[in-house]
Amino acid sequence: VQLQASGGGLVQSGGSLKLACAASVTFSNLYAMGWYRQVPGKQRELVAFNTPSDGTMYANSVKGRFTMSRDNAASTIYLQMNTLEPEDTAIYYCYLSFGGGELPVLSYWGQGTDFTVSS
């Protein structure tokens, strides 16, 4: 399974950006999806995460500004980011896991896409 993330770049503070993460397989067996971010020298942190049982949760720092969604037909998840702040500057990684129930859960990471929010 390969995940291809895209959508990074340079955006001004207060602007919007939408990241995409396309999977090389269908979402018929999708279990969980998420976005994480990492600033060089710091730990990777959760941005948004969704499981069937718990729904979608967001980091407090992005709640109300970021929205995660998915397009099953395109095997793609998205992260819509509004009212961006310089503190949102990071490398963003998508995460997908497949399986669950009687099947093992297998997890995959995208290669990371970075963007910079200028003040």
Say which residue the tokens 């959508």 belong to. Answer: 7
Coil vs helix vs strand at 26: coil
Walk along the chain (119 residues) and give the pLDDT tens digit of each residue.
999 999 988 999 999 999 999 999 999 999 999 999 999 999 999 999 999 889 999 999 999 999 999 999 999 999 999 999 999 999 999 999 999 888 889 999 999 998 899 98
As a whole number of angstroms, the distance between CA 41 and CA 53 comes to: 33
Q: What is the model's pLDDT at position 113? A: 92
Query: What count of residues does the chain have?
Result: 119
Q: Which amino acid is at 84?
A: L
Task: Count Cβ atoms within 10 A of the Cβ of residue 2 and give its class: 0-12 exposed, 13-18 middle, 19 or more buried.
Answer: exposed
Q: What is the model's pLDDT at position 119? A: 86
Q: What is the model's pLDDT at position 86? A: 95
**Tokens representing residue 22 in the block:** 């396309």
